[in-house]
Amino acid sequence: MFIVLALSFFAVCIFLQLPPHLRVEAQTSIESDFLAILNAERVTLGKTPIAANSFLLAAAYLHSEDIAEQGYFSHTSLDGRTFDQRIIAAGYTDYVSLGENIAYAYGAPDAAKVYEMWKNSAGHYANMMGDFNEAGLGVYSKNGYTYYTLDLGKSRSPTQPTPTPSPTPTVGLTPTPTPIPESSTWVMLLTLITATAGIVIFKRLTFGFKRALFHEPKLAAFFHDAFSSRKKETAIEHYSQIQ
């Protein structure tokens, strides 16, 4: 039992070193997915697609982080800066017009979810379909909630959207297997160790707890009351809000 716990602790300690890298990948993926959804609808309306811009992304991410860490929800920061001042400070200066949407929701980052939230609000939808040619979506998660900031700009020298390359067919060639990165192998191994340890610990705790419940009716009643209370608290946390 001691060895299992030690391995679990070791795995968790190493895994905790990964979030900065994983967070960058998640941010990029969510932004790409969001812009794909956004541009698909803009094309149906005869509007030009919006390209990702690193300055707008930086401004958006910093505002999402600030909202989450400082505990407020507004386009104006607690230090008094407005959204256009924050965007300019991030380096986006050669623009004609600017816009911003913000939102937060309970749960993991979800591009389709936040897009639908903004789409169902006339003002936010008008921003997304407006006369802009660049954007950055900043995503930040804390305590089970995800905070989103979409900063939009119309640049005088816009970044061109990256076209999706067409795959080049190969004839008579044997495909080369893609090697698995060493870091990915370690992550999979540590995840497997952690999951195995968790199952063993869960089974032992469950067995002991069932015995306690069988011999202690008062404990069983207390557990039922506590679970009912917690379930109720969790139910009221699932909501979304935009501004």
> Residue 192's pLDDT is what?
66
At residue 136, φ and ψ (nearest 5 deg) are -145, 130
- Across 52-74, average pLDDT: 97
pLDDT surpassing 80 at residue 58: yes
pLDDT surpassing 80 at residue 97: yes
> Residue 44's pLDDT is what?
97
- Residue 155 CB-half CA count within 13 A: 23
> Residue 190's pLDDT is what?
65
- Across 210-226, average pLDDT: 45
Handedness of CA 153, 116, 39, 141 (dihedral sign): positive
CA 63: distance to chain centroid? 14
pLDDT tens column, 149-191: 999 999 988 766 555 444 444 444 444 455 545 555 555 666 6
Torsion (CA) 51, 57, 63, 65 in degrees, nearest 10? 130
Average per-residue pLDDT in the chain?
Answer: 74
Integer CA distances (angstroms), 216 to 134, 222, 225, in order: 64, 10, 15
- Across 13-37, average pLDDT: 65
> Residue 48's pLDDT is what?
95
At residue 149, φ and ψ (nearest 5 deg) are -135, 125
Q: Name the pLDDT band for 16 (thresholds 50, 70, 90).
A: very low
> Residue 157's pLDDT is what?
82
> Residue 219's pLDDT is what?
41
Q: Name the pLDDT band for 216 (thresholds 50, 70, 90).
A: low
Q: Name the pLDDT band for 141 (thresholds 50, 70, 90).
A: very high
Helices (H), the chain: 2-15, 19-44, 54-70, 83-89, 111-119, 122-128, 182-215, 217-235
pTM higher than 0.95 for the full model?
Answer: no
Q: Pick the residue with more confidence: 234 or 112?
A: 112
> Residue 174's pLDDT is what?
44
Q: Name the pLDDT band for 28 (thresholds 50, 70, 90).
A: confident
> Residue 142's pLDDT is what?
96
> Residue 9's pLDDT is what?
43
